[in-house]
Amino acid sequence: MLIHEDRLFPAEPGARTIARALYTHIKTLPLVSPHGHTQAAWFAKNEPFPDPAKLFVQPDHYVFRMLYSQGVSLEDLEIGQPELKDPRKVWRIFASHYYLFRGTPTRMWLDFAFHELFGLSERLSEATADLYFDTISAKLRAPEFLPRALYKRFNLEVLATTDSPLDSLADHKAIRDSNWKARILPTFRPDPVVDPEFDGFLDNIRLLGEQTGEDTAVWTGYLNALRIARARFHSLGCKATDHGHPTAQTADLSTAEATDLFRRILAGNAVAQQQELFRAQMLTEMAQMSLEDGLVMQIHPGSVRNHNRKLHQLYGRDVGADIPRPTNYVDALRPLLDRFGNERNLTIILFTLDESTYSRELAPLAGHYPCLRLGPPWWFSDSPEGMLRFREQATETAGFYNTVGFNDDTRAFLSIPARHDVARRMDCAFLAKLVAEHRLAEDEAFDVAHALAYDLVKQAYRL
């Protein structure tokens, strides 16, 4: 058996019994996925996924960064290729190195998908590679494995994509026009037009002006263009923005100061400090716009993007060479919070890759400011251990109700149920321990489990 029915539950029998009961109470609740990187085109076109390698290996940086660390070339994995020349070869490479994922959350997610979706009970290895490839390939051609059918099978209630403000959102429009009764929502990710270090930034600013009919060569026209772009997203169901800045730094410049800074940025000769100040100012501007249009604001800071410069040059962005770094929130967010921290009609969800901030910075901030909520453990921390550390360190100050449940943040569509299952099991394990230690009444634990799995995410994202 690939997966055990008591996986992730406490080893102590009494607590394990409580965890089982809590999990039974919530395991069939609908999945709400308010932040991720799946493609709207999958659901607009509703075509079969091409092959196992394209589905499990190519889009998942958790997978290929591990393989690369052990000497497997990205060229052999055909990373970055729109079509795989030899998907079976790629799959065999993956299968022969599957042992590398022992003890990782990636292994747990993959085993869940292999067992629950494809009925495979033997462990993936070099010996079973072709069995896996043929079994999965055959099932992917069946109607029940089309993207829309899987959306229903996964019991998804909402699925949000992440989209450039320059995206036409044609696939989202096609989904809406098809009258398919599902909620696939865009998310406004303005990095290409607010981060001066983003590839093609100046061309992106010009294109934003062309799309919106605004003069983006001037500060006021630039801000108006962003408002128009946000309104276009909002008209197609968008509920949130997402900001992947290097830091959480914010600023609150005067109009004259911001105008002068923007002029320097457009001139293309701004130094690193000015580029950071511009990003900081844009977080505050985005908070102002969220207060106006009601979009929830997500801040995902603390990743050194494209750390491996050689891979970035060869393969572009998002090839698994991003590295976490320490992040300051208390001082960095102060300018934004001085202006908006007490607003009850604004929701800002904070994420981190720096676990040292859980109890020292994030929980105290979210446990005080009405506009702040804590996002779940993210990226390098979305493991069973990372989830447990988050609950242990954040709950004592922020409680449960200043958090927003779980989101999967995945590019790998078939991992969504597995990731939610891990999160639900870990929350049940944490709550069971509190009950067993007589720190929480059992009836309250059932209420909290339901909230963490379903209620809080819908409330936070206004779904």
Domains in the chain with CATH codes: 13-49+143-460 (3.20.20.140), 50-142 (1.10.2020.10)
Task: Give the C-alpha separation, 109 to 103, whole Å.
Answer: 11
What's the pLDDT at 386?
97
Query: What is the pLDDT averaged over residues 103-123?
Result: 96
375-393 pLDDT, tens per residue? 999 999 999 999 999 999 9
Q: Check residue 313 and give its pLDDT.
A: 81
Per-residue b or e along 358-387, where b marks 16 or more CB atoms closer than 10 Å to that residue's CB: bbebbbbbbbebebbbbbbbbbebbbbebb
169 — phi, psi (to 5°)? Answer: 60, 25
pLDDT of residue 216: 98
C-beta separation of 236 from 172 below 8 A: yes
Residue 182 pLDDT greater than 90, yes or no: yes
pLDDT band at 454 (very low <50, low <70, confident <90, very high): very high
Task: Name the nearest CA neighbour of 216 among 277, 266, 166, 281.
Answer: 266
Nearest Cα to 58, choosing from 17, 86, 24? 86
Rounded distance between C-alpha atoms, residue 287 and residue 280, angstroms: 11
Taking the C-alpha atoms of residue 93 and residue 75, their distance in angstroms, rounded to an integer, is 12
Quick one: 430 exposed, middle or buried, by C-beta within 10 A (0-12, 13-18, 19+)? buried
* Mean pLDDT computed over 446-462: 98
Break the chain down into helix, strand, coil percent, rounded to 5.
55, 5, 40
CA dist 295 and 291 (Å) reads 8
pLDDT at 215 over 80: yes
